[in-house]
Structure 1
């Protein structure tokens, strides 16, 4: 492996300090460039294995623009930046870097980032070099995927992600699935497991938002009898149960930092320890993680470990929101309608033209999950002998407006039939009802949002979603 490094940095003091640090750690520094023009010449002459790349440089070309050239040339690069704004992070992320360091950074973070960058670069090349050998799913097969796989649609963006999933499935590398809530991350995780050599073994799912920090370690790694108060017997954790199989860690961005360290050990050492245990237990588990958060922002704010991020992010798959694959809305709606027709034993004669127009013109902030919820409600209220349409008590336009206002999903737990009887449904808007309902729950939990018995758990939504709803509805600490 070529572990030589080119530094592209226009601040002399920073560049000189970087060179001293890297050479002390055993790396070969091929040179220092202060502009993209100089970097191009040095890359051509000295062919470094990795480029440390500042974003703002001398000259008309930025580091982010140059990163696209490096990617096309197959050269790994790690960003150095004093700016960690969301806009910069998103622009940098689009170039698929192998790391991102925010100035000022610790020397330890630099070395860890480089170690992981070289690891990812080599591993990604190994995975992609075997595309022809291991990709057994053709475009035709993907378009005609079976209901068992649960992935419906034929839009280019969806097929691209399915291609990536089929490429990585036969490998044993970890996978990070990114995307907004409701885009089908769990379905893709299941798809990858089913297309992998581990498909005949366990597929264990765990949502990191549903367990309080005090219980999640025991849930993941297990505990011995008497390890803590209430531990009346030995418990086998999810990782042991998933041995030889796959574990899916949904909402990985919610995992406490203390647990992130232990998860990193599983990735690196392939071993765990039960709480209260005195010996290590070897486990052979493939990890697929998912999140709707921008993990680079979480890292910059100290809530997510940099080293864990790059161990998980060896092969990222970003699922498109439903508004970016509108041609899939009707096939999805038809699939859900057929499912709920059978569930509720109601005839299904198709979807009305007016309803199709409404569905395709809506932006679906809750994505596929929200669409499923709309179709289920419509089927419940559906009259026999007609094509599926929106029915009272909601008009077509009001239903979608209310859904947009509330971002209603099945998991939200805020449906009208779950509201407290003392909420005046007929005397205020649905938004006011939702606000009142959330305030009632917060009052019961004394303002506690996270953890066991917290408001998010009672409402059956992630804490981050509840925070967003509270902000939108104007609920502050003073109301609690």
Structure 2
């Protein structure tokens, strides 16, 4: 536990330091005023701060406490001043404790224990609320590991790379990180890299000035500027072309953008979260993804496990979606739950969500008593004389079959996107990539 002491009386501050270090805490510094405290907070990143109210300089400990509230850094007051007006002002900052000088070592340690416990309980409640708001549900050990990673990285500005199969809930993980962060009051802007043509990368991400190119009739603010102070979530980052990767890397390194057709350099303060269902290390090895960009993005990786490795989460997730779509349907029979736990879920949580929505429409009473699970594909050895198709060829054929089955409908209920277990926007991007026309009526 790293603690910063903000106290302008050196003897008092040093006594505090000795007490804390004796009890096993790490004191990262002593500040005599708010300005010095700000510098130490930025450089040392303390877990907790002990603040005297009356400090050297124009700013008080209460002024610092208000800043700490916005930064989500917990603190306690230690002060000799018991003036009622000052105490009331201090209360408005919601400190985790208030210790009046002089005090005994025992009083300090007991107050710290109580403060740590309160903070831990509040943090757990806040995280639970954040996760419920973003639709993240589960009780498995694999899911708990994801939550642990979210809680550890949320309050930093570290770049996060979320990996996992399609439909595992990577965007929800990104949303949970943003909402649990100090940037939660600022926007989170999502960019689907798979749906971003190379010709539009710069204009979409960085914006343009009026007259920058034919058709640029007015100024446009890019995604990075829109997210200033908040978070940029680059979904399907593995789909970004190499040329666009170079431009993105430059922005991440310099923390500034320049609109197309403009001359002004615009500083940006954004947190980067990316997600992919590709193996980026393999993409790097095969020359399709830049190694330097990979290192920039993969500072804190979070792997979201597939649903087949989260069997304990199938039932709570199914009931979560049942509550979302159910209306009069409110139960799932034990036989159906057993079926679902034995199914491999190639489309993961997204497939489960679509399935529950479909079964609610088909149910005749208050309980889902049967379920239509797709049969697992038959995987048999390929004869040596038989030509093996590339993954892209197989993916293209699979998309065409889905479009034919849905009579050309891409999005919405009964559409090809739902059948394939992917977002409609992603399917449109893949259709464009493979040159597939929407004519399967």
Fold match by TM threshold 0.5: yes
Equivalences for residues 12-161 of structure 1 within 5 A: 141=125, 147-161=132-146
Q: Does the 8 Å CA contact 2:322/2:357 hold for their aligned counterparts?
A: yes
Query: In the aligned structure 2, how far is the partner of 1:188 from the partner of 1:209?
Result: 19
Residue 354 of structure 1 is matched in structure 2 by 335
Structure 2 residue runs of 5 or longer lacking an equivalent are 1-43, 49-72, 75-115, 379-397, 409-422, 437-441
Per the alignment, do residues 435 and 326 of structure 1 end up closer, same or farther by CA in structure 2, a change over 3 Å counting?
A: closer
Query: Is the 1:378–1:389 contact (alpha carbons within 8 Å) kept by the matching residues of 2?
Result: no
Pick the aligned partner of 1:460 from 400, 407, 427. 427
Which residue pairs with 2:415 in the alignment? Answer: none
Find the partner of 2:303 among 318, 327, 331: 318
CA distance in structure 2 between the aligned counterparts of 1:432 and 1:270, rounded to whole angstroms: 39
Report the counterpart of residue 387 of structure 1 in structure 2: 367
Distance 1:351 1:266 in 2: 50
Distance 1:465 1:164, change over 3 A: farther
Superposition pairs of residues 253-292 of structure 1, within 5 angstroms: 253-292=238-277
TM-score (norm 2): 0.60
Is residue 206–residue 225 contact of structure 2 (8 Å, CA) maintained in 1?
yes
Give the conservation status (yes or no) of the 8 Å contact 1:242–1:285: yes
| Conserved? CA contact 1:219–1:237, under 8 Å | yes
Contact in 2 for aligned 1:210/1:457 (Cα 8 Å): no
- Secondary structure at 1:460 match in 2: helix
Identify the residue that residue 51 of structure 1 maps to in structure 2.
none
Q: What corresponds to 1:401 in structure 2?
A: 374
Give the drift of 1:405: 5.5
Report how far residue 463 of structure 1 moved.
Answer: 2.7
1:382–1:232 distance in 2 versus 1, CA, 3 Å = same
* CA deviation after TM superposition for structure 1 residue 434, in Å: 2.4
**Aligned partners of 1:215 and 1:170: how far apart in 2?**
32
Out of 385, 397, 404, the residue aligned to residue 437 of structure 1 is: 404
**CA distance in 2 between partners of 1:185 and 1:295 (Å):** 15
Q: Give the superposition deviation at 1:213.
A: 1.6
Partner of 1:366: 347
Residue 215 in 1 paired to residue 182 in 2?
Answer: no
RMSD: 3.5
Match of 1:192 in 2: 177
The aligned residue for residue 375 of structure 1 is 356
The 8 Å contact of residues 143 and 154 in structure 1, kept in 2 or not, is answered as no
Write out per-residue CA displacement over residues 108-140 of structure 1, whole angstroms, 9 at most, x where no aligned residue: xxxxxxxxxxxxxxxxxx99x969x89966696
What number of residue pairs does the alignment pair up? 292
Distance 1:439 1:150, change over 3 A: closer
- 1:296 paired to 2:276: no
Give deviations 1:211-240, integer Å, cap 9, x for gaps.
222123211111111111211111100100
8 Å Cα contact 1:143-1:153 kept in structure 2: no
The 1-side partners of 2:369 and 2:193 are apart by: 37
Structure-2 separation of matches of 1:204 and 1:436 = 30
Distance 1:160 1:458, change over 3 A: closer
Q: What is the DSSP-based 3-state SS (H/G/I as helix, E as strand, rest coil) of the residue aligned with 1:151?
A: coil
TM-score by length of 1: 0.55
- Taking a change above 3 Å as real, the CA distance of residues 382 and 235 of structure 1, as seen in their structure-2 partners, is same
Classify the secondary structure of the residue corresponding to 2:172: helix
Asked if the contact 2:195/2:425 (under 8 Å) is kept, the reply is: no
Residue from 292, 308, 322 that aligns with 1:337: 322
Structure 2 CA distance for aligned equivalents of residues 363 and 434 of structure 1: 22
2:216 aligned with 1:243: no
Structure 1 regions of 5+ residues with no counterpart? 1-125, 391-395, 407-430, 442-455, 476-480
More divergent stretch after superposition (348-357 vs 304-313): 348-357
**For the structure 1 residues 250 and 146, does the alpha-carbon distance in structure 2 shift closer, same or farther, using more than 3 Å as the test?**
closer
Residue 279 of structure 1 and its aligned partner are, at CA, apart by: 2.1
Q: Is the 8 A contact 1:183 1:367 kept in 2?
A: yes
Distance 1:220 1:389, change over 3 A: farther
Larger Rg: 1 or 2?
A: 2
